[in-house]
Amino acid sequence: MDELTVSRLCVELWVKAGFAGDPKREPIRAWSLSAVERLRFPDGATAVFKFAAEPFTGEDRALKLAAMHGVPVPELHGSAVSGAILGMVMEDLGEPAREATDQDGAAAAAVLHRIRPSEMLPITLDTESLPRLPSRALAHFDYLRQVGRWESASDVGEMLTALHGVASVRAEGAERPPFGLCHSEFHPTSLHIGRTGWRLLDFARAFNGPGLLDLASWPGTQQPANPSRVRELIEAYVTTGGHPDALTSRGGLPAEVWALGWHRVWIVEWFMDQAVHWINDPTTDPAYITAVRRHLREAVRLLTA
């Protein structure tokens, strides 16, 4: 990202927010397309500055939508897009008091999923668009092969073809409640538990869709998919106020299996989209192929059984 544009956005936003003096910028976390910093001002005040390139330039809209509907999120002091880069100056929540538990995640998701689909979010995954994910991933795969990449990954195409064959049937029930605002990267690290309560962070990939995908996302993907744990999450979610239909089977599968399978397909399409558009670096192909294979094997196991 262009550092000059990032610095200009930072200054513009903290000045408009009413902070005084030139802050010290301290890196907190950085990814390939976004980063988070802490701003320390001479008077002792602090704020968080987050900046991101496309396709993450709509996070401020998702934060505003969540706040509008009463979801606890960091206060957004100001945001702007310049040169295809989003900058946001937000409330500094400090260090969490403890790590988020599965019960915390279930309770936060129950609050989040009360928000109905909104035109403020550009992506919707419903019964029409969800089944298109395998074919979109296949289109990415065909392009990568045409330009001489992913030539050793024919099995990826075979697994995507298998998923494409069952996608329409398995997508049935996608709009059954809970259906609305989905966080998309719903993990324990995205839920800040402070001394005064919880705040939900990192809405960079929020979309309209099945809330069950958030519950499937919560355990992460470093370990094999665990339907039993996700079932327990869904049960806790319903107990704490989530929609009771979350426990209902869909697409001919138990809710937890359906959620885990489609979550893996969603991840695969995103990884392949990055490989083609947003990262587009052949040197990263081995890592992407390894991740895509792992997630596809799980998706095939869960959705084609």
- Nearest in space to 29 (alpha carbons), one of 46, 49, 9: 49
What is the residue type of 305?
A
- Nearest in space to 230 (alpha carbons), one of 244, 214, 241, 245: 214
Domains of the chain: 3-90 (3.30.200.20), 102-303 (3.90.1200.10)
H helix or E strand, kind and range, residue 52 = strand 46-53
Q: Which residues share a beta bridge with 210? A: 179
What is the residue type of 120?
M
Contact 143, 211 (CB under 8 A): no
Q: What is the pLDDT of residues 20-54, one digit of tens each?
A: 999 999 999 998 899 999 999 999 999 999 999 99
Write down the pLDDT at residue 237.
98
Q: What is the pLDDT of residues 170-210, one digit of tens each?
A: 999 999 999 999 999 999 999 999 998 999 999 999 999 99
Q: Which residues contact 258 (CB under 8 A, 6 or more apart)?
A: 170, 173, 212, 249, 250, 251, 302, 303
pLDDT tens digits, the chain, 305 residues: what are they?
A: 889 999 999 999 999 999 999 999 999 999 889 999 999 999 999 999 999 999 999 999 999 999 999 999 999 999 999 989 999 999 999 999 999 999 999 999 999 999 999 999 999 999 999 999 999 999 999 999 999 999 999 999 999 999 999 999 999 999 999 999 999 999 999 999 999 899 999 999 999 999 999 999 999 999 999 999 999 999 999 999 999 999 999 999 999 999 999 999 999 999 999 999 989 999 999 999 999 999 999 999 999 98
- Nearest in space to 232 (alpha carbons), one of 242, 305, 301: 242
Contact 48, 62 (CB under 8 A): no
- 126-153: string of b/e by CB count within 10 Å (b at 16+)? ebebbbbbbebbbbbbeebeeeebbeeb
Write down the pLDDT at residue 262.
98
Backbone angles phi, psi at 168, to 5 degrees: -65, -40
Backbone angles phi, psi at 292, to 5 degrees: -65, -45
Residue with tokens 């397309």: 33
Count of alpha carbons within 13 Å of 233, Cβ hemisphere only?
30
- Nearest in space to 160 (alpha carbons), one of 267, 277, 302, 268: 268
What is the residue type of 66?
A
- The encoded tokens of residue 97 equal 């008091």
Q: State the pTM of this model.
A: 0.95
Write down the pLDDT at residue 261.
98
- What three-state secondary structure class fits 70? coil
The phi-psi region of residue 194 (left if phi > 0; otherwise alpha if psi is between -120 and 50; otherwise beta) is: beta
43: buried, middle or exposed (CB in 10 Å: 19+, 13-18, 0-12)? exposed
Write down the pLDDT at residue 126.
97
Write down the pLDDT at residue 305.
83
